[in-house]
Structure 1
Amino acid sequence: MDIGLTAQSEPRKWYVLNYIPTSMVKSERSAVMTLQRFNNLVGTDLEIFAPKICSVVNAAGKNIKVERPLTYHYVFVKGESLLVKQLCGMTNGFSFVLNRGNTQRYAVVGDKQMSDFKRIADRYKNLLPFFSLEDIDLEDGDKVEVIEGDFPGLVGYYFPKNKSTSGNIVLKVTQNLGTIAYDIKAKYVKVLEFSKNSRRGYDQIDAFIPKLYSALRKYNSREKLTDAEISVLTIFSRRMEVVAFNNHKIEAKLSAILMVANRILGNYDAESCARERFEKRLNSITSVMTKAFVALITAVADNNVDVYREGRLMMSLSGDERSKAYMQLLGEYEFYARQFNI
């Protein structure tokens, strides 16, 4: 077939197709069998992924998955565009899903996204929770990558559950359709970008600082950290190591924290990466209080009395004497005054 030979030079993509059977057989198998007949007839090797679709209903506070095979008719076919067009041009139930509001006419899914999608499908025995993205604002979630657990490598939008150490990850499948991975532990994800609609990133940094102070005191006195303390530092450092902030000031502060936390842990490669990032953003810091904070933790980590003195002087000029953060930092300066004989 000339069309098949011509198409071989084109890149293979995952196309989102409608599949509405032309007969009374309305099952996942019919889409697979129909495509197989096409492959046999034309001599092609189009791939198909046809998961069952279910929606999520909240009943009595619990998420219940309800199969709705006629709500969505989507299947996913990978192949060259000419061959997929030939498939959809026949009277067999397949048709393109148009990608409205996008320069690309037909809806496609990237290989990485499709791999993540299949991973979720495999975890849920091919019965996928689907929902319209019109029902959810992805910008309310943090963009994350899963690094442990059932979905390593999965990239999506993380929505933490109230009063819980876990959350759900939403994967955008098409322009208007998403699926979800439930109950992913927060410690298993690495943040790529915090939501623009929340202060979670700032709050997590602020909550970590007292734990860093405690670990730094032990590091300074050459006292061994407990497993729990090592775990806290490791999880924070791993979660925050690549997160992007639009604010260079907070990025500089975070980099300094990661630099010292990794020094305490003995992760010298990670410390070096954080230091390089910190040095790029160092001049962005304008807050006297933040400068004093960075001076304190780096002075202790490096045992540098001159940096300590500079930071102690900044404390008297900060004007934040009434804040809780100021009092905590002042307590650390007073604690280390004995070490530096001041």
Structure 2
Amino acid sequence: MECKERAENIENEGLIIGEPVCWYAMSVPYNRVLKVKDMLDSERIECFVPMRYEVRTVRGHKTRLYVPAVSNLLFVHTTDSRLKMFKQTTTFLQYLVRRVDGVSRKIVVPDAQMEQFIRVSRTSDDGLVYLKPEEINLGKGTRVRILGGVFDGVEGLFLKVKGRRSRRVVVLVDHVSAVAVSEVSPDLIEVLDS
């Protein structure tokens, strides 16, 4: 678990001193992601929902809407105890888990991965492609850093994305999701040591 921060303020926040503040990957079924995000915001709990613009037909008219990019996905940045307290009133909010040695473990996203993912997801680039982890062949990728432009400093894997003509830089959140940036000029890519 790579959580940099520690809870220090126990007044009004329900935090325990020294407990790590981590990014938890959560699932919110029944299209309630934005409702839960509003609830977390009102409780002053940091959270992130990857969003994108999408053209949909509403009442016979095409409309550009700002919608969640990945169905049911929400990231919450808090302590485990505070999240458990919040979950008592929001029963449909669920931890995303993965099996490790036959045991289900909550998916905790390292801060560095989350920073990169948020940075890319918050750009207004229409060329972003969101992928499931199983859609990516990590063995064929090269670790790179983008130099210059809107994605300056972003690190990821340079690889071929299914259904796209050219290779792209993919920013991965282990076991949860990935986002492929639009095409980047090769002269703006620095290869990193593995």
Aligned letter for 1:186? P
Of structures 1 and 2, the larger Rg is shown by: 1
Partner of 1:118: 118
Partner of 1:11: 20
Return the offset for 1:135.
Answer: 2.1
Return the offset for 1:108.
Answer: 1.7
Return the offset for 1:29.
Answer: 3.4
Return the offset for 1:137.
Answer: 0.7
Partner of 2:61: none
Aligned letter for 2:114? M
TM-score by length of 1: 0.43
Partner of 1:49: 48
Partner of 1:32: 37
Equivalent pair of 1:169/1:181 in contact (CA under 8 Å): yes
Partner of 2:189: 189
Equivalent pair of 1:167/1:182 in contact (CA under 8 Å): no
Return the offset for 1:123.
Answer: 1.6
Judging changes above 3 Å, is the alpha-carbon distance between structure 1 residues 135 and 153 closer, same or farther for their aligned structure 2 residues?
Answer: same
Partner of 1:143: 143
Return the offset for 1:28.
Answer: 5.0
Separation in structure 2 between the aligned mates of residue 101 and residue 80 of structure 1, nearest angstrom: 22
> Aligned pair count?
169
Per residue, is there more helix in 1 or in 2?
Answer: 1
Secondary structure of the residue that 1:120 maps to in structure 2?
A: helix
Aligned letter for 2:132? S
Residues 1-342 of structure 1 aligned to structure 2 (within 5 Å) = 4-21=13-30, 26=31, 29-37=34-42, 39=43, 45-52=44-51, 72-101=71-100, 105-124=105-124, 129-159=129-159, 167-192=167-192, 243=193
Return the offset for 1:111.
Answer: 1.7
Aligned-pair Cα RMSD in Å:
3.4
Return the offset for 1:107.
Answer: 0.8
Return the offset for 1:88.
Answer: 2.3
Partner of 2:60: none
Aligned letter for 2:156? G
Return the offset for 1:173.
Answer: 1.3
Return the offset for 1:2.
Answer: 8.3
Fraction of identical pairs, as percent: 22
Partner of 2:58: none
Separation in structure 2 between the aligned mates of residue 96 and residue 84 of structure 1, nearest angstrom: 10
Separation in structure 2 between the aligned mates of residue 142 and residue 159 of structure 1, nearest angstrom: 7
Secondary structure of the residue that 1:150 maps to in structure 2?
A: coil
Higher relative contact order (CA 8 A, sep 6+): 2
Judging changes above 3 Å, is the alpha-carbon distance between structure 1 residues 87 and 154 closer, same or farther for their aligned structure 2 residues?
Answer: same
TM-score by length of 2: 0.71
Separation in structure 1 between the aligned mates of residue 182 and residue 127 of structure 2, nearest angstrom: 13
Per residue, is there more strand in 1 or in 2?
Answer: 2
Judging changes above 3 Å, is the alpha-carbon distance between structure 1 residues 4 and 122 closer, same or farther for their aligned structure 2 residues?
Answer: closer
Separation in structure 1 between the aligned mates of residue 173 and residue 143 of structure 2, nearest angstrom: 15
Secondary structure of the residue that 1:89 maps to in structure 2?
A: helix
Separation in structure 2 between the aligned mates of residue 154 and residue 108 of structure 1, nearest angstrom: 21
Separation in structure 2 between the aligned mates of residue 183 and residue 20 of structure 1, nearest angstrom: 32
Judging changes above 3 Å, is the alpha-carbon distance between structure 1 residues 173 and 117 closer, same or farther for their aligned structure 2 residues?
Answer: same
Secondary structure of the residue that 1:123 maps to in structure 2?
A: coil
Equivalent pair of 2:142/2:157 in contact (CA under 8 Å): yes
Return the offset for 1:15.
Answer: 0.7
Separation in structure 2 between the aligned mates of residue 127 and residue 91 of structure 1, nearest angstrom: 34
Return the offset for 1:127.
Answer: 9.6
Separation in structure 2 between the aligned mates of residue 156 and residue 48 of structure 1, nearest angstrom: 22
Separation in structure 2 between the aligned mates of residue 74 and residue 119 of structure 1, nearest angstrom: 17
Equivalent pair of 2:21/2:77 in contact (CA under 8 Å): yes
Return the offset for 1:53.
Answer: 6.7
